[in-house]
A and B are shown apart, each in its own frame.
Chain A
């Protein structure tokens, strides 16, 4: 009979743990999308001429570009510094690559289950726009998409052409985070 007493406790514990886990999931998604709203404002200020505008007082990252995919209605504010903290709020620019919207290869990474989920829907010929802080816009055309092993990645600067590489984790629907696979969409700047 004493063990019977434990059953409701166990039930409540399971409920509590469940709520906590679900809350965690909601927090990740909520943070990702509300941050983009706040970032939008910071981006307007950045474009207004102020440089490195933190979206909220204690932020250690700032918007560096705006990425849009007109066909999909996708709009993302890209953040500086591809680290876990920045990635929680938006796609991030890998600082060892060329600055967004300039010649050379720009690499942007984003979470496969939030900001860069749309990579799965990109097709060849798709137009991607990058807006720089100085207001200049550059149009890129998607050339290819492939799945690669991140451990084999090498960066080589082949000057002259503006190339955009959008990188996210793969597969898109894996439950466990982590793993070496990456989905890479490569786009080249329209020659205008």
Chain B
């Protein structure tokens, strides 16, 4: 910061000093150089002055400010965003979860308001329901093509009717808009989605993201599926927002409180239940059920909630089939756990390329976690392996010009290099990714790319296309770092990269998470997976994902299928086959007494849309992808990049004709552990005014007395600098004069 304010005086100083230079220009170049050096010295002194007082700080418990207030210039600058409270209820049933998210929008202002809130949902969630609550009255949402839904909403908004719109910005980023919330009124938007429980390494887990981390948009690159076009609402200063909207400075305290409860029915006796990042209270009605609540009651929406549970020894599932019948068709969800590799066969020599994100969003705990993870990975390399490290921020840099053997000397160089890395700057991830994918793979060596990042970028689609197009025989593994990683990027990059992904949310997880990941890297994958069905009438089910992905150590076969037969009439068998380290593996299952479970059809449809949308990364015609995805999304009422849910109140318009509607975005929190200045630049928050409640603002304008704050800076520093420069200049001048006098005397 100090630079910006120093710049002008520096120029003045240097002109004073350098301006006298030509005096000695003919006879004594040495003195001229000295004069130049003295000017440089002054510049250096100025440049090295410590930057102080950059970080604005604040207390979460700060109350309404009292006493000294600062009136904003325009009438709009001091405003209030709608208050938002979220209430999350998760019902887990075996391998599926039904989640209800209620967003309470409260308008604290004296004017009519439109509230806009950008929030995340799990990247594989099938969002299929929107209900708007006005007090006790409910308005059910309809699924419409995205543009049509927006027009429907805009029309209702203009007419003064209450309306709610839920649109997707990304597979894991959604935006709620709610129109015509009266002064002091509350409108509740209720969103429901279906999610699937992950099972890996003998643990079940469910992730609920709470905040969309600020995203970096590389200059010159338009993020595909850009943010919803909308009238620019009166908002905060430009620097403290990303493409999704404003981000609250921590100095104004955390906002958007969230309450969460989980009703867990694991379907098998439980050994442990653990919440990774939130304190929870757990009650156990019986061996397979748990009721989980947040110990703090409500928490600021600033980090992911992750629940993990493990079955009792011997109760771990080997295979499970769940089913749901809709419209005469059966939808199946299959989980199949292949036997684990013994780990005795040594893997072939490998070439590992680690790509490390050192952008500003990684500053602090995130970078520490990533470094620790990388050091651990380096430690596990064998001498016959080769490796390289690429780091990226605003630029990218390679540790070695080419792959080097993992011998102690090279590893030592790598660890020392890593140690000195700091997080700063933009997230130019794509060039680094392309660099990692570009290296030609060697014969008979496994090429593995390990990508450590928080994924805080907005050009995901461009990178997915890079991965799909350039992967070759390499395999890409992602490691999601920090409190709110971009899970859509982590999963999709790993899927298209035919690798696997993992998350590290705190430093003490590095050990276990990296150990599991490294085992996946070291042990042979289960490849060429295929399912063969023998069903009555030769029916052929529609299975997703297709083809089945390669599986790494600890990963189960997970697939969803649609069979055009009623569930009760469904019988037959199917076999899953695959190969590992040259050996064939087969597992045959009989379809009988399928456990019913709601929501599988939605998960199947979501998996199908995923498959269709992957076509974008593979270079298929976007118009065809769109129409194929649209058909499935409309049939299954799912919110996608092509469809939105909209709810319009049929009651007569509520907003008086003469009352204006103000559009307000609800700022998001900064994810826990992030540094504001590192993301938005040191100056971003400095000039932001404290936003005050409207009534207080009125009182200040009416009764507040202008106050004269005195000047509180002395010219001491200025005088010291001018003084030093003059002394130096005088001394040099005399020195030069004496020398030239002597030369003249000799002559």
Q: Are both chains from one complex? A: yes
- Chain A positions within 8 Å of B, measured between CB atoms, are 4, 7-8, 10-26, 28-29, 32, 82-84, 87-88, 92, 94, 96-97, 104-105, 107, 109-114, 116, 119-125, 141-150, 152-158, 160-161, 163, 165, 167-179, 182-184, 186, 188
Q: Is there an interface contact between A176 and B9, defined as CB atoms closer than 8 Å? A: yes
Q: Please, how many angstroms separate the alpha-carbon atoms of A152 and B687 in the complex?
A: 12
The 0/1 profile, CB within 8 Å of A marked 1, for residues 230-242 of chain B is: 0000000000000
Taking the complex as formed, is B75 at the interface, i.e. its CB lies under 8 A from any CB of chain A? no
Please state if A146 and B722 are interface contacts (CB–CB under 8 Å): no
Given that A157-B67, A172-B52 are contacting pairs, would A177 and B710 also be in contact in the complex, using a CB cutoff of 8 Å?
no
CB-nearest residue of chain A relative to B8? A176
Interface positions of B from 36 to 70, Cβ below 8 Å from A: 46, 49-53, 56-59, 61-63, 65-70
Q: Do A146 and B56 contact each other (CB < 8 Å), given the known contacts A25-B719, A171-B5, A182-B709?
A: yes
Contact B719 A28 (CB under 8 A): yes
Q: A110: shortest Cβ distance to chain B, in Å?
A: 6
Q: Which listed segment binds A: B144-152, B485-493, B697-705? A: B697-705
**Complex contact B726–A82 (CB within 8 A):** no
In the assembled complex, the Cα of A119 lies from the Cα of B712 at a distance in Å of 13
Q: A170 to B62, alpha carbons, bound, how many Å?
A: 23
Q: Can you list 21 A-B contacts with CB-CB less than 8 angstroms, sorted by A residue number?
A: A4-B737, A8-B734, A11-B731, A14-B733, A15-B727, A15-B734, A24-B715, A94-B710, A144-B65, A146-B56, A146-B690, A153-B71, A154-B68, A154-B706, A156-B69, A156-B699, A174-B2, A177-B714, A182-B712, A183-B53, A186-B65
Q: Give min CB distance, A54 to chain B, whole Å.
A: 21
Is the pair B723, A119 in contact by a Cβ cutoff of 8 Å?
no
Considering the complex of A and B, which 10 residue pairs feature the smallest CB-CB distances, nearest first? A105-B67, A14-B730, A21-B723, A18-B726, A22-B723, A154-B704, A120-B53, A18-B727, A15-B730, A11-B733
Give Cα distance in the complex from A148 to B63, angstroms: 19
Confirm or deny: B575 has a beta carbon within 8 angstroms of a beta carbon on chain A: no
Q: Smallest distance from the beta carbon of B379 to chain A beta carbons, Å?
A: 37
- The residue of chain B having its C-beta at the shortest distance from the C-beta of A141 within the complex is B59
- Interchain CB contact under 8 A, B71 and A152: yes
Bound-state CA distance A165–B712 (Å) is 14
* CB-based contact A18/B733 at 8 Å: no
CA gap between A183 and B72 in the complex, in Å: 16
- Chain B nearest CB, measured from A154 CB (Å): 3
Which A residues are in CB contact (< 8 Å) with B23?
A: 7
* B726 → chain A closest CB, angstroms: 3
Q: Tell whether B221 is near chain A: CB-to-CB under 8 Å.
A: no
Contact A21 B720 (CB under 8 A): yes
Given A7-B737, A25-B719, A163-B66, verify A174-B700 contact (CB < 8 Å).
Answer: no
Task: Please tell me if the beta carbons of A145 and B251 are within 8 angstroms of each other in the complex.
Answer: yes
Q: B6 touching A156 by the CB < 8 A rule?
A: no
Interface pair A144/B251, CB less than 8 Å apart: yes
**A146-B251, A175-B46 are known contacts. Are A158 and B711 too (CB-CB below 8 A)?**
no
- Known contacts: A12-B734, A144-B59, A175-B9. The answer to whether A21 contacts B712 by CB under 8 A is no
Min Cβ gap B292→A in Å is: 31
- What number of B residues sit within 8 Å (CB to CB) of A? 71
Could you tell me the distance between the alpha carbons of A163 and B66 in the complex, rounded to whole angstroms? 7
CA distance A150 to B704 in the complex (A): 14
A57 vs B172: C-alpha distance when bound (angstroms):
72
Contacts of B59-90 to chain A: CB distance below 8 A: 59, 61-63, 65-73
- When the two chains form their complex, are residues B68 and A153 in contact, meaning their CB atoms are under 8 A apart? yes
Q: Which residues of A contact B721 (CB under 8 A)?
A: 175
Complex alpha-carbon distance, A144 and B70, angstroms: 14
Q: Whole-angstrom distance from the CB of A102 to the nearest CB of chain B? A: 12
A174, B714: Cβ atoms closer than 8 Å: no
Q: How far is the CA of A35 from the CA of B272 in the complex (A)?
A: 66
B546 at the interface (CB under 8 A from A): no
Q: What are the interface flags for B395-410 relative to A under an 8 Å C-beta threshold, 1 for contact and 0 otherwise?
A: 0000000000000000
Q: Which of A26, A113, A173 contacts B2 (CB 8 A)?
A: A173
Tell me, rounded to whole Å, the shortest Cβ–Cβ distance linking B276 to chain A: 27
B689 & A148 in contact (Cβ 8 Å cutoff): yes
Chain B, 724-747, CB within 8 A of any chain A CB: 724-731, 733-734, 736-737, 740
Q: B686: nearest residue on chain A (CB-CB)?
A: A147
Q: Across the interface, do B716 and A8 meet the contact criterion of CB distance under 8 Å?
A: no
Least distance between B617 CB and chain A CB atoms (Å): 45
Q: A144 contacts which chain B residues (CB < 8 A)?
A: 56-59, 62, 65, 251, 690
| Given A142-B59, A143-B59, A174-B5, A109 contacting B730 (CB threshold 8 A) | no
Q: Which residue of B lies closest to A96 (CB)?
A: B707
Contact check, B726 vs A107: say whether CB atoms are below 8 A apart: no
Chain A proximity mask over B368-393: 1 for CB below 8 Å, otherwise 0: 00000000000000000000000000
Pick the contact of B715 from A121, A145, A154, A177 — CB < 8 Å? A177
B713 located at the interface, meaning its Cβ lies under 8 Å from any Cβ of chain A in the complex = yes
Q: Which of A17, A148, A175, A178 has the most CB atoms of chain B within a 10 A radius of its CB?
A: A175
Pick from B53, B705, B720: contact of A155, CB under 8 Å: B705
Whether the Cβ atoms of B719 and A21 lie closer than 8 Å is yes
Q: Which of B679-705 contact A (CB under 8 A)?
A: 686-690, 699-701, 703-705
Q: How far is the CB of A83 from the nearest CB of chain B, in Å?
A: 7
Using Cβ atoms and an 8 Å threshold, which residues of chain B touch A83? 710
A13 CA / B53 CA spacing, docked (Å): 38
Cβ of B716 and Cβ of A169 under 8 Å apart? Answer: no
Q: In the complex, what residue of chain A is closest to B687 when comparing beta carbons?
A: A147
Cβ contact within 8 Å between A10 and B719 = no
- Inter-chain contact A14/B9, CB cutoff 8 Å: no
B689 near A114 (CB under 8 angstroms)?
Answer: no
Residues of A within 8 A of B58 (CB): 124, 143-145
* Cross-chain contact A177 with B730 (CB below 8 angstroms): no
A144–B253 Cα gap in the complex (Å)? 10
Known: A7-B737, A21-B720, A152-B72. A109 touches B726 (CB 8 A): no
Residues of A with C-beta under 8 A to B69: 153-156
Q: Does B718 contact A (CB under 8 A)?
A: yes
The smallest beta-carbon distance between B671 and chain A, in angstroms, is: 19
Which chain A residues lie closer than 8 Å to B434 at the CB level? none
Q: Does B583 contact A (CB under 8 A)?
A: no
B726 engages A167 (CB within 8 Å): no
Q: Kindly state the separation between the CA atoms of A157 and B733 in the bound complex, as whole angstroms.
A: 60
Contacts of B68 in A (CB 8 A): 97, 105, 107, 153-155, 163, 165, 167, 184, 186
Q: Is B296 an interface residue (CB 8 A)?
A: no
CB-based contact B56/A147 at 8 Å:
yes
B715 touches A28 (CB 8 A): yes
